[in-house]
Amino acid sequence: MVKLQHLVENVDWKSGINVWFKFFSFPLPISDQPVTTPVDFGSTIPSSTIKTLPKQEKSNRKDYGRHRRTRLEKKALKAKEAEAKLVKAEEVIDNAETSSTLESTLLEPKDIPGENNGNDNEEKNSPKESLQPPPEKKPRLKTIDPSKPSFRATCYRTGQNHSFNSMCAAANFGGAIQTYFGWNVEMKNFDIEVILTVNDDDVSVSIALTKTSLHRRLITDFGPTTLRPTTAYNMLRYVYQ
């Protein structure tokens, strides 16, 4: 992982960014050199800290997705039921407090200033406070530099003798890019996607020139074909291996 981090210094970013500008745009110029070259890229992220789902057979993937949607729907339904019960309980308490206040004003004398009639303890032990929902957590605010682009690092790995997974490699390499350039990290609405390809002992770095999936690269974009793009790619990959 340390070698992957220091690989950022040896990439020809100038050529890659120049080609990227022919397909995409950014309102400000993108520097291909950091303001200050970092000496250390920080500690590496071990694979054990990154949770990945186990590989599943194609026949089980749809079942997994369906069960996951069912769990989320049940969770949302329970949350709505709990919220409805809370609202109903608060309405009952408000009605009870209103009726008790009217009765006290009609039947009991007014409180004398300076005397404690035991209402403080009743207010502290009121069930209304115990039914209040917990305070909402404040969302984490991202520090975004508008003068710099956003990026995402993606790793494609092939081989059996690696001591790391693809997500671990992408996390360490992407963290080194952020430390090197100070670019903003964005997983979905990114400007630049940096591709890290690990093929056994060979490592290469490139910048993606399309943001659509392989199965959406149709004839209008890449010329006439008689096969699906994914099928043609896999056939070429098999021939040249």
Say if residues 158 and 204 touch (Cβ distance below 8 Å): no
Give pLDDT, residue 214: 62
Residue 181: pLDDT band (50, 70, 90) is very high
Say if residues 157 and 165 touch (Cβ distance below 8 Å): yes
Give pLDDT, residue 24: 92
How many percent of the chain have pLDDT more than 70? 67
pTM above 0.75, yes or no: no
Give pLDDT, residue 26: 93
Instruction: Calculate the CA dihedral of residues 74, 76, 77, 79 and round it to 10 degrees.
Output: 120
**What is the Cα–Cα distance from 122 to 116, expressed in whole angstroms?**
12
Give pLDDT, residue 190: 92
Amino acid at 21: F
* Residue 38: partners with Cβ closer than 8 Å, 6 or more residues away: 179, 180
204 beta partners: 197
Summary count for the chain: helices (H), strands (E): 8, 4
* Residue 208: partners with Cβ closer than 8 Å, 6 or more residues away: 154, 192, 193, 194, 195
Say if residues 212 and 205 touch (Cβ distance below 8 Å): no
- Please give the backbone phi and psi of residue 84, each rounded to the nearest 5 degrees, phi first: -65, -40
Amino acid at 45: I
Give pLDDT, residue 233: 78
**Among candidates 140, 143, 142, 167, which has minimal Cα distance to 156?**
167
Residue 199, pLDDT > 70, answer yes
Residue 5: pLDDT band (50, 70, 90) is confident
Give residue-wise pLDDT tens across range 118-156: 555 555 555 545 556 667 766 666 678 889 999 999 999
Least confident interval from 42-46, 191-195, 214-218: 214-218
Residue 206, pLDDT > 70, answer yes
* Per-range mean pLDDT, top range of 45-49, 63-67, 71-75, 173-177: 173-177
Give pLDDT, residue 195: 94
